[in-house]
Structure 1
């Protein structure tokens, strides 16, 4: 009888996990289908506000678009902020030429190698367009080998004049993103699409608030969705100064190094499917942007990972082109103790970002555990 009960418990636990992953997947499908380039995140902000509202005590959107969902605990305790960011990399309309073609600027870090021959969505209405490519028959040998820059590219929306483009409702400054379908691999836990960075954690934030219904914890949880992370970590410092949290956990994606073109163990020992990553230190080369997570918040993350039996991939990325909102929060409000939990994903800032939902679920488990044990550790530096 005891063995039967254990089998039933394991089966029930597995079923719950599958339902959670399916819920995260459904939210991710919705969120990645939205256009939310930095500075034009309104559609994502609306979605997050509406989907957090049923599970939070209060949801506010500040005048810059940062979403702040508040969940009050049943006992005194610290103010804990758990955040994701709403924006994605992409482009914006720079100019509409008299012949109806569109010139565009990059918004955030997009590789020029991704441009030619791509389908795009223009404006939040997702008007179809194509980044044009010169016919191969007409390219010189030199042209066929050279990567064109954004300034040399153009978008074709099927119009023959500026007026025709404007009649579509397109104007200077409008957002543009890669068109990308939501593709499940043969292994249904692997999902590929655009803007996994960082819509996966927007989906996790919604799921976290769902799972906290009727659950007791100390203090106050601030579930935050920040704007304009991809162009300078701008929303995080606004919110950090406004909320004044006692500590914060930033949820973001991290590049996986487990592909043939990366020397994984030397350069980027992060693998898809081996659990969430915890970047201890990171910084963008050639800048003063740097973050080292707070030692006590690191302990909180590691202890919760062990408690819920989730593997953590510890990593440093100092001097590489990686950072998160944590770099802004560490200096907000006179300095906020910050930790980072990351979901690995391949093919960063492309229309084919690949994520393993088991890693994302691991982030959720750790984040939930941190909320439930909020206030259980002294946050002093030493």
Structure 2
């Protein structure tokens, strides 16, 4: 790989880091390293969510920008006598994208490589070849000959298991492939928003947040929002790109490279209309491309943030991404950079009077 520019190196460090829900320390350390130079202070809540504060106007509104640290993965539940690992999923998985994929087991003694085992097609009856394997029947092979050897490697029940996919700049260098875009891209956006606000006057206090345990119930968003008590909230996450074969516009409208998505609603929240209109007006005034999105299923940290205290006007801004909730996703660099640009322009305008108008719109 050729030498990466500063932002691509940050994306590589974030996505190559391992951090399944409930075990986000490695990712949090990377995010802290990148965001700390642009923050007045960096703290964590008691679940481990990172909170970076940058004060523009001390008595101005509090603006929360949340990306989640965790990625989907697995957890070791037991080791059989032959040294194979049984596991459960952590976050939402579809069996067809799991089988025969490489994984890393995060142990106290360091990382152990493995693969989700599969039967060769040669020994499967014709009917079995047409069906996906139930995840309850799957196992992880770590190259151990016995339970004792697996434990000598450092593997224990409860260890986190993460997908393997190195950060890759594709032949068209706007296309970036990695594991864990869901949601290291949100963490990158939060970092870059604080970066772009250096030396810029803004009439508020901005909190760039890396939340924990989003994939298992928006948990870190709930605790970090309770710590901050924001006046306005933004969840930054991945969205579904509907530009691949087999996906219809009825299922997913957004296309990579056409701008970040403004989420109208999902299973966790109906977006705040006043805030949504304010953001799209800013985008229009600054010629920043965007797309609308709506998802009947799924949700983002906005679903927890907007229920904090007596309610927080909230909006999810997402980056269209192919193949989410699998080992490898692809997104477009322009969408990421336009999401940063849009949020920065919005923050510049969010003074107390504007926030009051949005809140009671």
TM category, shorter: over 0.9
Structure 2 partner of 1:91: 74
Alignment of 1:43-192 (within 5 A): 43-74=26-57, 76-123=59-106, 125-192=110-177
Structure 1 partner of 2:237: 252
- Is this contact kept in 2: 1:295–1:381, CA < 8 A? no
Structure 1 partner of 2:344: 368
Q: Secondary structure of 1:205's match?
A: helix
Q: 2:272 is matched with which residue: 289, 294, 314?
A: 294
How many residues were matched structurally?
Answer: 353
Structure 2 partner of 1:207: 192
Q: Distance in 2 between matches of 1:145 and 1:177?
A: 27
- Alpha-carbon RMSD across the aligned residues, in angstroms, is 1.5
Q: Distance in 2 between matches of 1:44 and 1:75?
A: 29
Check 1:97–1:180 CA distance in 2 against 1; reply closer, same or farther (3 A cut).
same
- Is this contact kept in 2: 1:49–1:61, CA < 8 A? no
Structure 2 partner of 1:226: 211
Q: Distance in 2 between matches of 1:39 and 1:75?
A: 33
Q: Distance in 2 between matches of 1:179 and 1:222?
A: 31
Q: Distance in 2 between matches of 1:135 and 1:143?
A: 11
Structure 1 partner of 2:334: 358
- Is this contact kept in 1: 2:19–2:69, CA < 8 A? yes
Residue 307 (structure 1) shift: 3.0
Structure 1 partner of 2:256: 272
Q: Distance in 2 between matches of 1:71 and 1:372?
A: 13
Structure 1 partner of 2:266: 282
Q: Secondary structure of 1:267's match?
A: coil
Alignment of 1:329-340 (within 5 A): 329-340=305-316
Q: Distance in 2 between matches of 1:380 and 1:113?
A: 44
Q: Distance in 1 between matches of 2:202 and 2:326?
A: 39
Q: Distance in 2 between matches of 1:273 and 1:306?
A: 17
Structure 2 partner of 1:237: 222
Structure 1 residues without counterparts, runs of 5 or longer: 1-20, 284-289
TM-score (norm 2): 0.94
Check 1:23–1:373 CA distance in 2 against 1; reply closer, same or farther (3 A cut).
farther
Q: Distance in 2 between matches of 1:126 and 1:51?
A: 24
- Is this contact kept in 2: 1:23–1:207, CA < 8 A? no
Q: Which moved more, 1:138-147 or 1:37-46?
A: 138-147
Structure 2 partner of 1:30: 13
Deviations 1:27-81 (A, max 9, x none): 1111111111111111111111222111100000122111100000146421111
Q: Secondary structure of 2:324's match?
A: coil
